[in-house]
Amino acid sequence: MAVKMIRTLLALALAAAVIGVGTSPASARTSDTSERNAVSPAPSVTLYVRNNNWMDVNVYAFSGGKRRRLGMVAGNSSGKFVIPGWIIEGSRDLRLIADPIGSRRGVATHPVLVRPGDIIEYRVEYNLGLSSVMVIPGS
């Protein structure tokens, strides 16, 4: 019962933290020439990464056959990223990748089905094979 209440409170806290977060035109651009000037009006998805590994990890969103770097999360810390709506719009193959810096091994999630406004919690564990992803539906 207490675990269910904690999960509910966590989901509400994460949802409250997301209110007001949007995508600016500058953050919605990529280095790909065909997408450079495209700015989608689609709302974004918020990604929270908890890195329980001792190594720093680069975090990527893989969708539509392209890997896009979202940022880096230091070892034993957390990070917050925004995945622009144009990356997830119409995508059924979104995967998250954690690539430890200085290692040849990384970890990718199974395909994650998200809609604009959802919240993703990605936990990178000390044993990379035990890493997990959870989607909290948006409102």
Q: Looking at this protein, which amino acid is placed at residue 22?
A: G
What's the mean pLDDT when you consider all of the chain? Answer: 80
Whether residue 18 is predicted with pLDDT greater than 70 in this model: the reply is no
At 25, phi and psi to the nearest 5? Answer: -55, -35
d(CA 87, CA 30): 10
How far is the first Cα of the chain from the last one, in angstroms, to the nearest whole number?
24
pLDDT in tens, 27-39: 434 444 444 445 5
User: H or E segment at 33?
Assistant: helix 33-36
3 state SS of 34: helix
What pTM value is reported for the model?
Answer: 0.69
At 48, phi and psi to the nearest 5? Answer: -105, 125
